[in-house]
Amino acid sequence: MPSLTTINLGRDIAMEVLAIEAHQNRLWALQGEEATADEETISSELLLCVQRFEAFLARWDGEVLGLEEEKGEEGGEEMEEGEVKEDEMEVDKDSPSPPPPHGPERPQRLDTAAIAAISVGDIGWAPLPRMAATSRDWFVPSQYGQICIKVYPFIIVKKMDDCMIGAVISSGNGNGLRHKQPSLRARSTYVVGATFRGFDNVSYGWGMGPEKMNLEVDQTAGAYEPRAGAFVDVLDTYQIPYNTRWKKEGRLTYTSRVDLLRMRHAVLEKDALGWRG
Protein backbone atom coordinates (compact mmCIF):
# COMPACT_ATOMS: atom_id res chain seq x y z
CA MET A 1 0.00 0.00 0.00
CA PRO A 2 1.60 3.34 -1.04
CA SER A 3 2.28 5.90 1.69
CA LEU A 4 0.27 9.09 2.08
CA THR A 5 3.24 11.06 0.71
CA THR A 6 3.31 8.91 -2.42
CA ILE A 7 -0.43 9.23 -2.95
CA ASN A 8 -0.43 13.02 -2.47
CA LEU A 9 2.59 13.59 -4.71
CA GLY A 10 1.13 11.34 -7.38
CA ARG A 11 -2.10 13.35 -7.25
CA ASP A 12 -0.23 16.66 -7.47
CA ILE A 13 1.85 15.49 -10.44
CA ALA A 14 -1.23 14.20 -12.24
CA MET A 15 -3.08 17.49 -11.68
CA GLU A 16 -0.17 19.50 -13.11
CA VAL A 17 0.00 17.19 -16.15
CA LEU A 18 -3.72 17.73 -16.79
CA ALA A 19 -3.35 21.50 -16.28
CA ILE A 20 -0.43 21.63 -18.74
CA GLU A 21 -2.50 19.80 -21.36
CA ALA A 22 -5.45 22.13 -20.79
CA HIS A 23 -3.32 25.26 -21.24
CA GLN A 24 -1.73 23.79 -24.37
CA ASN A 25 -5.19 23.14 -25.82
CA ARG A 26 -6.20 26.74 -25.03
CA LEU A 27 -3.13 28.02 -26.87
CA TRP A 28 -3.93 25.82 -29.88
CA ALA A 29 -7.47 27.26 -29.94
CA LEU A 30 -6.01 30.78 -30.27
CA GLN A 31 -3.82 29.91 -33.29
CA GLY A 32 -4.30 32.50 -36.00
CA GLU A 33 -6.46 34.81 -33.87
CA GLU A 34 -5.72 38.34 -32.68
CA ALA A 35 -5.39 37.32 -29.05
CA THR A 36 -1.88 38.33 -28.07
CA ALA A 37 -2.78 39.30 -24.51
CA ASP A 38 -4.67 36.04 -23.95
CA GLU A 39 -1.79 34.04 -25.36
CA GLU A 40 0.67 35.77 -23.02
CA THR A 41 -1.57 35.08 -20.01
CA ILE A 42 -2.04 31.42 -20.90
CA SER A 43 1.67 31.05 -21.66
CA SER A 44 2.54 32.47 -18.22
CA GLU A 45 0.08 30.11 -16.53
CA LEU A 46 1.49 27.22 -18.53
CA LEU A 47 5.03 28.09 -17.42
CA LEU A 48 3.92 28.09 -13.76
CA CYS A 49 2.30 24.68 -14.22
CA VAL A 50 5.49 23.27 -15.71
CA GLN A 51 7.57 24.74 -12.89
CA ARG A 52 5.25 23.21 -10.29
CA PHE A 53 5.36 19.90 -12.15
CA GLU A 54 9.18 19.89 -12.04
CA ALA A 55 9.14 20.75 -8.33
CA PHE A 56 6.75 17.89 -7.57
CA LEU A 57 8.83 15.56 -9.73
CA ALA A 58 12.00 16.54 -7.84
CA ARG A 59 10.21 15.72 -4.57
CA TRP A 60 9.13 12.38 -6.06
CA ASP A 61 12.74 11.59 -6.95
CA GLY A 62 13.96 12.45 -3.46
CA GLU A 63 11.13 11.33 -1.18
CA VAL A 64 9.73 8.32 -3.05
CA LEU A 65 12.57 7.00 -5.21
CA GLY A 66 15.34 8.16 -2.86
CA LEU A 67 17.32 9.79 -5.68
CA GLU A 68 19.37 12.97 -5.36
CA GLU A 69 18.61 15.91 -7.60
CA GLU A 70 21.23 16.51 -10.27
CA LYS A 71 23.55 19.44 -9.58
CA GLY A 72 23.87 20.51 -13.22
CA GLU A 73 27.26 18.95 -13.82
CA GLU A 74 28.72 19.12 -17.31
CA GLY A 75 27.92 16.40 -19.81
CA GLY A 76 25.99 13.51 -18.27
CA GLU A 77 26.31 9.76 -18.18
CA GLU A 78 27.53 8.13 -21.35
CA MET A 79 24.99 5.78 -22.89
CA GLU A 80 26.16 2.24 -23.47
CA GLU A 81 26.04 0.88 -27.00
CA GLY A 82 22.65 -0.46 -27.94
CA GLU A 83 20.75 1.35 -25.17
CA VAL A 84 17.53 2.95 -26.37
CA LYS A 85 16.29 6.38 -25.42
CA GLU A 86 12.94 7.27 -27.02
CA ASP A 87 9.46 5.78 -26.79
CA GLU A 88 10.84 2.21 -26.97
CA MET A 89 12.76 3.04 -23.79
CA GLU A 90 9.68 1.79 -21.93
CA VAL A 91 11.11 -1.37 -20.41
CA ASP A 92 10.00 -4.81 -21.59
CA LYS A 93 7.78 -6.79 -19.24
CA ASP A 94 10.65 -9.14 -18.44
CA SER A 95 13.04 -6.34 -17.49
CA PRO A 96 14.18 -6.68 -13.86
CA SER A 97 14.73 -2.99 -13.13
CA PRO A 98 13.30 0.43 -14.12
CA PRO A 99 15.03 2.94 -16.40
CA PRO A 100 16.63 6.07 -14.90
CA PRO A 101 13.97 8.67 -13.95
CA HIS A 102 15.01 11.19 -16.63
CA GLY A 103 16.23 8.82 -19.32
CA PRO A 104 19.65 7.37 -20.06
CA GLU A 105 21.08 10.60 -21.46
CA ARG A 106 20.10 12.72 -18.43
CA PRO A 107 19.68 16.00 -20.39
CA GLN A 108 21.12 19.04 -18.63
CA ARG A 109 19.49 22.35 -17.72
CA LEU A 110 20.07 25.13 -20.23
CA ASP A 111 22.25 28.16 -19.61
CA THR A 112 22.00 31.54 -21.38
CA ALA A 113 24.48 30.64 -24.12
CA ALA A 114 22.74 27.34 -24.85
CA ILE A 115 19.35 29.09 -25.11
CA ALA A 116 20.72 31.65 -27.58
CA ALA A 117 22.14 28.85 -29.73
CA ILE A 118 18.81 27.04 -30.17
CA SER A 119 16.98 27.49 -33.48
CA VAL A 120 14.00 26.03 -35.34
CA GLY A 121 14.86 22.60 -36.75
CA ASP A 122 17.19 21.62 -33.89
CA ILE A 123 16.76 18.08 -32.55
CA GLY A 124 17.33 17.20 -28.92
CA TRP A 125 16.18 15.17 -25.93
CA ALA A 126 13.82 16.25 -23.15
CA PRO A 127 11.68 14.49 -20.51
CA LEU A 128 7.99 14.11 -21.31
CA PRO A 129 5.16 12.93 -19.02
CA ARG A 130 2.55 10.70 -20.63
CA MET A 131 -0.33 8.60 -19.41
CA ALA A 132 0.72 4.94 -19.42
CA ALA A 133 -1.48 2.10 -20.65
CA THR A 134 0.34 -0.37 -18.40
CA SER A 135 1.50 -0.29 -14.79
CA ARG A 136 5.07 -0.37 -13.48
CA ASP A 137 6.46 0.09 -9.98
CA TRP A 138 8.38 3.21 -11.03
CA PHE A 139 5.46 4.93 -12.81
CA VAL A 140 3.79 7.84 -11.03
CA PRO A 141 0.43 6.69 -9.64
CA SER A 142 -2.58 8.98 -9.65
CA GLN A 143 -6.35 8.71 -9.47
CA TYR A 144 -6.38 9.20 -13.24
CA GLY A 145 -4.01 6.34 -13.96
CA GLN A 146 -0.27 5.73 -14.25
CA ILE A 147 2.01 8.53 -15.51
CA CYS A 148 5.33 7.63 -17.13
CA ILE A 149 8.17 10.14 -17.46
CA LYS A 150 10.31 9.23 -20.47
CA VAL A 151 12.94 10.97 -22.58
CA TYR A 152 11.95 11.67 -26.20
CA PRO A 153 13.71 13.34 -29.12
CA PHE A 154 12.03 16.61 -30.17
CA ILE A 155 12.27 18.83 -33.24
CA ILE A 156 12.02 22.49 -32.29
CA VAL A 157 9.25 24.11 -34.36
CA LYS A 158 9.04 27.49 -32.62
CA LYS A 159 11.26 29.51 -30.32
CA MET A 160 9.60 31.95 -27.91
CA ASP A 161 10.82 34.36 -25.24
CA ASP A 162 10.20 31.99 -22.32
CA CYS A 163 10.15 28.57 -23.95
CA MET A 164 10.40 26.57 -27.14
CA ILE A 165 7.79 24.38 -28.83
CA GLY A 166 8.94 20.91 -29.85
CA ALA A 167 7.36 18.19 -32.02
CA VAL A 168 7.99 14.79 -30.48
CA ILE A 169 9.63 12.06 -32.58
CA SER A 170 8.06 8.63 -32.07
CA SER A 171 8.76 5.32 -33.79
CA GLY A 172 5.77 3.06 -33.13
CA ASN A 173 8.02 0.29 -31.78
CA GLY A 174 9.92 0.35 -35.06
CA ASN A 175 6.77 0.06 -37.17
CA GLY A 176 6.43 3.75 -37.82
CA LEU A 177 3.03 4.68 -39.24
CA ARG A 178 2.11 1.20 -40.48
CA HIS A 179 -0.46 0.52 -37.76
CA LYS A 180 -1.58 4.10 -37.06
CA GLN A 181 -5.05 5.44 -37.79
CA PRO A 182 -5.60 7.29 -41.09
CA SER A 183 -6.06 10.72 -39.47
CA LEU A 184 -2.64 10.46 -37.79
CA ARG A 185 -0.95 9.25 -40.98
CA ALA A 186 -2.50 12.17 -42.83
CA ARG A 187 -0.64 14.71 -40.67
CA SER A 188 2.60 12.76 -40.12
CA THR A 189 5.93 12.40 -41.85
CA TYR A 190 8.98 10.19 -41.43
CA VAL A 191 12.26 11.53 -40.05
CA VAL A 192 15.02 9.94 -42.11
CA GLY A 193 18.80 9.70 -41.93
CA ALA A 194 21.69 7.54 -43.08
CA THR A 195 20.33 4.28 -41.62
CA PHE A 196 16.58 4.86 -41.89
CA ARG A 197 15.05 6.05 -45.14
CA GLY A 198 11.35 5.68 -44.32
CA PHE A 199 8.78 3.04 -45.31
CA ASP A 200 7.19 2.79 -48.77
CA ASN A 201 4.42 0.31 -47.91
CA VAL A 202 2.21 2.76 -46.02
CA SER A 203 0.47 5.98 -47.03
CA TYR A 204 1.28 9.09 -45.03
CA GLY A 205 1.35 12.85 -45.29
CA TRP A 206 -1.57 13.08 -47.70
CA GLY A 207 -3.27 15.67 -45.48
CA MET A 208 -0.31 18.01 -45.80
CA GLY A 209 0.91 17.81 -49.36
CA PRO A 210 2.97 16.85 -51.14
CA GLU A 211 2.32 13.26 -50.18
CA LYS A 212 5.12 11.17 -48.64
CA MET A 213 7.55 14.02 -48.04
CA ASN A 214 10.19 13.01 -45.48
CA LEU A 215 12.20 15.21 -43.13
CA GLU A 216 15.95 14.77 -43.52
CA VAL A 217 18.40 14.89 -40.61
CA ASP A 218 21.54 16.93 -41.31
CA GLN A 219 24.30 14.33 -41.13
CA THR A 220 26.96 16.97 -40.38
CA ALA A 221 25.15 18.56 -37.43
CA GLY A 222 25.48 16.12 -34.54
CA ALA A 223 25.06 12.64 -33.13
CA TYR A 224 21.30 12.19 -33.63
CA GLU A 225 20.36 9.36 -35.97
CA PRO A 226 16.64 8.53 -36.37
CA ARG A 227 15.67 5.02 -35.33
CA ALA A 228 13.72 2.68 -37.60
CA GLY A 229 10.15 3.94 -37.86
CA ALA A 230 10.93 7.47 -36.64
CA PHE A 231 8.08 9.83 -37.50
CA VAL A 232 6.56 13.13 -36.43
CA ASP A 233 2.90 14.00 -36.02
CA VAL A 234 3.19 17.70 -36.79
CA LEU A 235 0.40 18.50 -34.30
CA ASP A 236 1.96 16.48 -31.44
CA THR A 237 3.89 19.39 -29.92
CA TYR A 238 4.84 20.30 -26.36
CA GLN A 239 6.15 23.33 -24.54
CA ILE A 240 9.75 22.93 -23.39
CA PRO A 241 10.60 25.73 -20.92
CA TYR A 242 14.15 27.03 -20.98
CA ASN A 243 14.59 26.00 -17.36
CA THR A 244 13.91 22.36 -18.16
CA ARG A 245 16.36 19.60 -19.09
CA TRP A 246 17.36 19.61 -22.77
CA LYS A 247 20.18 18.08 -24.77
CA LYS A 248 20.72 19.02 -28.40
CA GLU A 249 22.11 16.28 -30.65
CA GLY A 250 21.40 17.39 -34.20
CA ARG A 251 19.16 19.32 -36.58
CA LEU A 252 17.18 19.00 -39.78
CA THR A 253 18.61 20.11 -43.10
CA TYR A 254 17.71 23.63 -44.17
CA THR A 255 15.14 22.47 -46.74
CA SER A 256 13.52 20.08 -44.26
CA ARG A 257 13.22 22.87 -41.68
CA VAL A 258 11.26 24.87 -44.25
CA ASP A 259 9.21 21.79 -45.21
CA LEU A 260 8.27 21.14 -41.56
CA LEU A 261 6.91 24.67 -41.15
CA ARG A 262 4.95 24.29 -44.41
CA MET A 263 3.49 21.00 -43.18
CA ARG A 264 2.38 22.48 -39.87
CA HIS A 265 0.82 25.47 -41.61
CA ALA A 266 -1.09 23.23 -44.03
CA VAL A 267 -2.51 21.00 -41.28
CA LEU A 268 -3.42 23.90 -38.99
CA GLU A 269 -5.12 25.69 -41.89
CA LYS A 270 -7.18 22.61 -42.78
CA ASP A 271 -8.05 22.00 -39.13
CA ALA A 272 -9.27 25.60 -38.80
CA LEU A 273 -11.59 24.96 -41.76
CA GLY A 274 -13.05 21.88 -40.05
CA TRP A 275 -10.89 19.21 -41.72
CA ARG A 276 -10.59 16.02 -39.67
CA GLY A 277 -8.63 13.72 -41.96
| pLDDT tens sequence across 42-60 | 777 777 887 787 777 777 7
In sequence order, which residues have a C-beta less than 8 Å from that of residue 107 and are 6 or more positions away?
76, 124, 125, 126, 127, 151, 245, 246, 247
100-272 has CATH 3.30.70.100 classification: no
| pLDDT tens sequence across 152-181 | 899 999 988 888 999 999 998 899 999 999
Where is pLDDT greater, at 254 or 211?
254
pLDDT at 61: 66
**Terminal Cα-to-Cα distance of the chain (whole angstroms):** 45
Kindly write down the DSSP assignment for every residue of 194-244, as one continuous string.
SS----SSS---TTTSSTTPPEEB-TTS-S--PPTT-EEEEEEEEEEETTS
pLDDT at 156: 95
Residue 103 clears pLDDT 60, i.e. is over it: no
pLDDT band with cut points at 50, 70 and 90 for residue 20: confident
Closest CA to 163 of 107, 240, 102: 240
> How many residues would you count in the chain?
277
pLDDT at 11: 75
Collapsed DSSP state (helix, strand, coil) of residue 158: strand
Q: Per mean pLDDT, which range of 76-80, 113-117, 184-188, 238-242 is the poorest?
A: 76-80
Can you give the residue ranges of every domain in the chain?
100-272
| pLDDT tens sequence across 185-229 | 999 999 999 999 999 899 999 988 778 899 999 998 888 999 999
pLDDT at 204: 94
pLDDT band with cut points at 50, 70 and 90 for residue 33: low
This prediction's pTM? 0.60
